Structure 1
């Protein structure tokens, strides 16, 4: 039987655990040891400055032990004064010394305490700030892109979608390696440490509110499990996955993936094409590499193109997307272009082509 309050305590423990596993991008700061060393040096400088101020006006101070104040007494007085200990054995007796205490030594005491206590306060408030950032991030996250796996394929996929206008704060990377997530946050992406085959890990990435999911894991069986879990949590998101073996592609489609890229086969076909025709292989590699040379893009049909045939458009059209069908440029079923069609075209890469409204780059192998 659970005691009253146990559920609330359990929820708080879960929230703290999630806060440690979800990492948001942050600006680069100095190393903790360097920060502490710098603050200690500043505090020491304040202590030395206070001691010399007292020693310079030593005639205005009285020592109960021997009435005179030397340099050691000045350092002793500065130490007990800045630390607010205040034994009272050395006191300012002249008006000038008391004015200096009010206008100079008291502000130095406050500065000294801020420097020493500030480090402790920063540590205590860091967790609160992080939880506040996490809650704010969750509430504002909508229609984002979840990337499972941040290896070579995952990084290339993120760079491609970001080149078409997706902001870095709309990307969430999921990976079991903490070092990989640190690399992702260094690039400005939010990261979740954990196994993406588990639903609780994907929920931390807010996959249920995602617009598209990219699965770029190292193993095909892991990709299948991730696709199953992601599709169960989000019925409408577009899921694109990469597999190594072509025989696993149908299984991944059955698991809920909308598009499957066979990385090993695609690389092999590119190698073979480069052997048969180096120039053709060079063109294909240029199409795969986004942002330079030629790019393959998808765009809507504009009003001026409605009623035209494919060859009558200004762009080099490769295929026409009509409904759920992808028709080749020479398919007789196309007839004339309709307003609801989308065109897959080859364009010259430039900043202007990347900012075309509603343009989506096709996933590449």
Structure 2
């Protein structure tokens, strides 16, 4: 048991790729079927030995069927070799051969031949799945750490249209592995601070990387490694303590979320103003009530003030900088702007505005 656990831990440390909905190990199936084959063999030997008087041994003048003879007869019979030196002569022995040993022979061959084919086919299918997955992987999202924060992040991404096949989880935990597989996600088991593990997750081709382990030091090391492998990817990282946020940004994170401070502020707001706390909780709860979303600007909205739009605009993104809606810089909306809005959760975040999903955007190319 200890050796198996050590081997499993070492394998996970190397960063193995495991796809969801994986069946039992083919070697487990092989071992179980071999045991069944041995059980058939032992049962048949016992039948022949107990009914030894019903058999005749052409090579033994005394015509006595010993245990060795029973084993010999069973093996040559089940393997369909059938030399004919030992044969059933009584009606009972012949009936046992016809009704018991012959079906046992068929089952024995099916177990051995079928298991071999299944093991080879299972391994081939799994290798083919992983090869196809690697070939199609690119412009995906890598999630490092699949605890509460990681799962919530994936739920939000999938709920906003991201295909689960474009999400790869990196986590050394067997619990995270089971949870991610249950959610239909591919998993690379291993330490995310190691380059080989992140390479197997395709970090070099990832569009975004979410770092959400439970330790700030691990998050910092993971961010440094990710940034070395992919200088262009967008990194969103979480830290537990605000004092670690600057270090996380220096490590290469583009966006840093301080979980403890955010929870503390929400608790404080809920204490000072229970109604405000309800609204904030609503905004943070995915799929219910209100949502904060980003959308493109419509052609008809160019030149207007953010406060006059149907959506509740809270910020404007211009030249990759975020301005509050009341900032004089964005007093009038211009082509290429993107809007941060509060809208009903039932509306898709990328929809131009509630109820209108097919209008033209006011992009820079117009």
What TM-score comes out, normalization by structure 2 length? Answer: 0.74
Q: Structure 2: how far apart are the matches of 1:150 and 1:26?
A: 14
- 1:340 is aligned to 336
- 1:82 is aligned to 78
The change in CA–CA distance for 1:224 and 1:21 in structure 2 (over 3 A counts) is closer
Query: Does the CA-based 8 Å contact 1:40-1:116 persist in structure 2?
Result: no
The alignment status of 1:25 with 2:25, answered yes or no, reads no
Q: Structure 2: how far apart are the matches of 1:20 and 1:245?
A: 30
The change in CA–CA distance for 1:189 and 1:77 in structure 2 (over 3 A counts) is same
Please state how far the C-alpha of 1:131 moved relative to its aligned partner: 3.0
Query: Does the CA-based 8 Å contact 1:25-1:186 persist in structure 2?
Result: no
Q: Structure 1: how far apart are the matches of 2:269 and 2:13?
A: 48
SS in 2 for 1:150: coil
Query: Does the CA-based 8 Å contact 1:239-1:258 persist in structure 2?
Result: yes
The change in CA–CA distance for 1:42 and 1:307 in structure 2 (over 3 A counts) is farther
Query: Does the CA-based 8 Å contact 1:19-1:131 persist in structure 2?
Result: no
Please state how far the C-alpha of 1:298 moved relative to its aligned partner: 0.7
What TM-score comes out, normalization by structure 1 length? Answer: 0.74
Q: Unpaired runs of 5+ in structure 2?
A: 1-9, 44-54, 64-70, 90-96, 358-366
Please state how far the C-alpha of 1:180 moved relative to its aligned partner: 2.0
Match of 2:208 among 201, 208, 212: 212
The change in CA–CA distance for 1:264 and 1:329 in structure 2 (over 3 A counts) is same
Match of 2:177 among 181, 189, 199: 181
The residue correspondences of 1:130-149 to structure 2 (distance < 5 A) are 130-149=126-145
Q: Structure 1: how far apart are the matches of 2:118 and 2:152?
A: 37
Deviation string 1:261-319 (CA, Å, 9 cap, x unpaired) is 01111100000000000110111011011111111111111222222221221111111
Q: Structure 1: how far apart are the matches of 2:311 and 2:272?
A: 28
SS in 2 for 1:333: helix
Match of 2:253 among 257, 262, 270: 257
The residue correspondences of 1:154-303 to structure 2 (distance < 5 A) are 154-303=150-299
Please state how far the C-alpha of 1:185 moved relative to its aligned partner: 2.0
Q: Structure 2: how far apart are the matches of 1:330 and 1:279?
A: 25
Q: Structure 2: how far apart are the matches of 1:216 and 1:121?
A: 42
The alignment status of 1:313 with 2:309, answered yes or no, reads yes
Q: Structure 2: how far apart are the matches of 1:86 and 1:354?
A: 73
**CA RMSD, 1 decimal:** 4.3
Deviation string 1:108-132 (CA, Å, 9 cap, x unpaired) is 8566412233334434554444333
Please state how far the C-alpha of 1:134 moved relative to its aligned partner: 2.1
Deviation string 1:188-243 (CA, Å, 9 cap, x unpaired) is 11111222112121111110000000011222122111111111111111100001
Q: Unpaired runs of 5+ in structure 1?
A: 1-15, 49-60, 68-74, 94-100, 360-365
Please state how far the C-alpha of 1:41 moved relative to its aligned partner: 6.9
Query: Does the CA-based 8 Å contact 2:13-2:191 persist in structure 1?
Result: no
The change in CA–CA distance for 1:258 and 1:26 in structure 2 (over 3 A counts) is closer
Match of 1:353 among 348, 354, 357: 348
Query: Does the CA-based 8 Å contact 1:25-1:185 persist in structure 2?
Result: yes
